[in-house]
Amino acid sequence: MESKLLDSVNTIQTPEGVDIHLRVAGIWPRSVAWVIDLLIRGVIYILLGFLAGVLGDFGSGLMLIGFFFMEWFYPVLFEVLNKGMTPGKKFLGIQVLNSDGTPVGWSPSMLRNILRTVDFLPLFYGLGFISMLMNDRFQRIGDLAADTIVVYYNKTAEIQGIPEYAEIKPAYDLSLEEQQSILRYAERSNQLSGARLHELAEILNSLDVPAHSMSKEKLLGIANGLTGRK
């Protein structure tokens, strides 16, 4: 029960005014997840060592390459391609997200994992442990630099993909900010009520052909066009 007392709720408000409540994972579940991932990597290291003994010099080279990729890319690949969850995190039901609640990408994941070397100092994540105790979102130094958080996985808070609609071209070229606004609208469309979706669509009427009302369907069609769907 102590681990639950160390956890806190982080409330994020989306641009559409929707509150998403994320329960931040404390030190204990994150530590257990790290140990599980360490054991998995350890088994793979043993297998690579066995191959090195069988294959000679070629195996030794393969082992060194494998060690490098396992140490630096094991967490990154899982975090980016598996909803922010390494096998250890998935077992504990926690995931890495950007601090605004969006899925973590390659750059922040790489940064937070590269800085594990700093968090590990002077021994066994000493600096990372101190950093986590000093902020209410339990962010280690790597998380602070990458602007990421580790939270309990909540499927209802997950940002869904853009629903598929027939492509629609806007009346004129959209600015980058306008494109981002439409994509965010589409990504969160499954979280908003129909009334709220239509209310937001009316705000963007100026993007459509004059004298035509912008609708949810048109916005989703434009979003599909922006993502390259046909």
Q: What is the pLDDT of residue 30?
A: 94
Domain assignment present for 171: no
Q: What is the pLDDT of residue 1?
A: 38
| Domain identity same for 79 and 34 | yes
Domain span including residue 66: 2-157
Q: What is the pLDDT of residue 203?
A: 66
| Domain identity same for 68 and 109 | yes
- Of the residues 157, 184, 217, the one at which a domain ends: 157
Domain assignment present for 165: no
Q: How many helices (H) and strands (E) does the chain have?
A: 11, 4
Domain assignment present for 111: yes
| Domain identity same for 185 and 71 | no
Domain assignment present for 167: no
| Domain identity same for 180 and 152 | no
| Domain identity same for 108 and 39 | yes
| Domain identity same for 59 and 147 | yes
Domain assignment present for 170: no
Q: What is the pLDDT of residue 223?
A: 77
Q: What is the pLDDT of residue 29?
A: 93
Q: What is the pLDDT of residue 206?
A: 53
Domain assignment present for 12: yes
| Domain identity same for 88 and 202 | no
DSSP strands (E only) in the chain: 8-13, 19-24, 94-98, 148-152
Given a cut of 70, the residues of the chain with pLDDT beneath it are 1-8, 11-20, 155-162, 172, 190-193, 203-214, 226-230
| Domain identity same for 141 and 192 | no
Q: In angstroms, rounded to a whole number, what is the distance separating the alpha carbons of residues 170 and 195?
A: 23
- Of the residues 126, 157, 188, the one at which a domain ends: 157
Q: In angstroms, rounded to a whole number, what is the distance separating the alpha carbons of residues 155 and 157?
A: 5
| Domain identity same for 119 and 190 | no
- CB count in 10 Å sphere of residue 15: 12
pTM over 0.85: no
- Of the residues 157, 187, 211, the one at which a domain ends: 157
CA 56, chain centre distance (Å): 40
Domain assignment present for 168: no
The domain total for the chain is 2
| Domain identity same for 220 and 123 | no
| Domain identity same for 37 and 117 | yes
Q: In angstroms, rounded to a whole number, what is the distance separating the alpha carbons of residues 200 and 198?
A: 5
| Domain identity same for 90 and 50 | yes
Domain assignment present for 221: yes
